[in-house]
Amino acid sequence: MDEQEEKKQRTRQSSSTLTTRQSSSTLKTRQSSHGNHKSQSNSIPFDITFEILSRLPAKSIVRYRSVSKLWSFITTTPEFIKTRSKKTSPPCVLLIFRKHDKLIVFSSPQHKNTYSYVEDYHIEIPKNGFIRRLDSVHGLICFEGSKQLVIWNPTMKRFFTLPEPQGNGDEYYVGGFLGYEPVEGKYKALCIVRGWNTQVLTLGVQESWRVVTKGGFFHWPTKDTGRCINGVIYYKAFDMAPRHAIISFDLRYEEFKLIDFPMRDYDRFLMVSYEGRLALISDTSSVVEIWSLEDAGNKKWSYGQFHLSLPPNKYLKWLDLRGVTDGGELIYTGVSLNGSFCVVYFDPKKSSIRETKFRGITGNEIWQPDRLGFDLVNDFYVLPNHIESFISF
């Protein structure tokens, strides 16, 4: 080996040693700031701890946050949340029954065709149990109350109540929605106050409500609608005319747009995400109609119609349309609580049907006699495409 080659090799070795020392120094510094320096610096390296924790099931991650300050710190960093989201479990469907001030929540994998035992847990509804609407948004559940929004993270089993929007004596709360902006990875809440006042709150940055100034106009949201799709919140409303319309709110640019309502029936439809776009779906005894927003910029809708062909032993009149999976399957549930509870998935393009029966629901204490005669079936929600979230506010 000549002299020049030896110099190059010594330079590479020196650089490698320096990099290793710098990396080790950085890890020890981060560790020592979240626990005893001596004990942490001699334990498992930070990056290995990070990788191990990111591979654990959601339940274990939540439980281990109380083990040490370091582990709690690691699992709440944006880097960990982003890494863990890539390893998250497949989407599940949440079946939520309400009984007085409690919610009984059942969860099951969305793409299972076999009998499934569901995991269930009971939670108390904050703010006296009043719910106008609830929705699943990128792993978080948004409860809309009479004056404000309550956010629930089922993975972390934590609630977070948003502050009431600002307003004067002549203005009052009309409606609110939660959305997720995927480019910057931010959750934002939208609130409509009576009048021209619309406000936005970004979750997790300790800021107050801000008044939206771009494209705002007077409108009145209708209940039981609202969907966030690809960073845009859509909901049905009345404008000044008054007329029925779809309102879109771009979360990144915080700008409103008004879209003409395409259907003749203003009430009997579901607002869903279908094939990555906003869609309005209605069904009859044998036909499913789908209006899909093909071009949001030009406000162009497309129309499709599908015929239902259920097996001979199934009766559509006993099933209610409840939602759509991320794979384009329509979700139907039974209206009877006798025997096992079933969810039927219908793929309109393949004309195929699959059924999942759930054990553990009809035998739950929720079905015990209720002296007030509370109707559990009518106060029932289906939230498909729900994913894990490790966000903490």
- Give the pLDDT mean for 239-253: 86
Rounded to two decimals, what is the model's pTM?
0.80
Same domain for 183 and 236? yes
- Give the pLDDT mean for 6-26: 42
| Residues with Cβ within 8 Å of residue 141, at least 6 apart in sequence | 94, 134, 135, 151, 152, 153, 154, 383
Take residue 338 and report the two structure tokens written for it.
Answer: 């006798």
Q: Which residues pair with 346 in a beta bridge?
A: 330, 353
Task: Outline where DSSP puts E strands in 182-241.
Answer: 186-193, 198-202, 210-211, 220-221, 227-229, 232-238
Position 92 in a domain: no
Residue where a domain stops, chosen among 56, 80, 104: 80
Same domain for 134 and 257? yes
Take residue 266 and report the two structure tokens written for it.
Answer: 């203003």
Position 214 in a domain: yes
Same domain for 237 and 178? yes
Take residue 247 and report the two structure tokens written for it.
Answer: 């309102």
Same domain for 131 and 216? yes
CA dist 327 and 108 (Å) reads 16
Position 355 in a domain: no
Residue where a domain stops, chosen among 261, 277, 293: 261
The structure tokens 């409840």 sit at: 322
Q: What pLDDT shows up at residue 40?
A: 46
Q: What pLDDT shows up at residue 15?
A: 43
Q: State the pLDDT confidence band at 224, using cuts at 50, 70 and 90.
A: confident
Phi, psi of 52 (to 5 degrees): -65, -45
* 139, 274, 351, 364 from 156: Cα distances, Å: 10, 28, 38, 23
Same domain for 226 and 142? yes
Position 73 in a domain: yes
Phi, psi of 320 (to 5 degrees): -115, 135
Same domain for 131 and 62? no
pLDDT digits (tens, 9 = 90+) for 94-107: 888 877 777 778 88
Position 174 in a domain: yes
Range of the domain at 196: 125-261
Q: How many domains does the chain have?
A: 2
Q: What pLDDT shows up at residue 147?
A: 78
Position 182 in a domain: yes
CA dist 183 and 22 (Å) reads 32
CA dist 22 and 11 (Å) reads 16
The single-letter code of the amino acid at 309 is S
Task: Outline where DSSP puts E strands in 125-185.
Answer: 133-137, 140-144, 149-153, 158-161, 173-181
DSSP 19: H
Residue where a domain stops, chosen among 26, 55, 80: 80
The string of DSSP codes covering 300-321 is EEEEEEEE----TT--GGGEEE
Q: What pLDDT shows up at residue 102?
A: 73
Position 377 in a domain: no
pLDDT digits (tens, 9 = 90+) for 340-368: 677 888 888 888 888 887 765 656 655 55
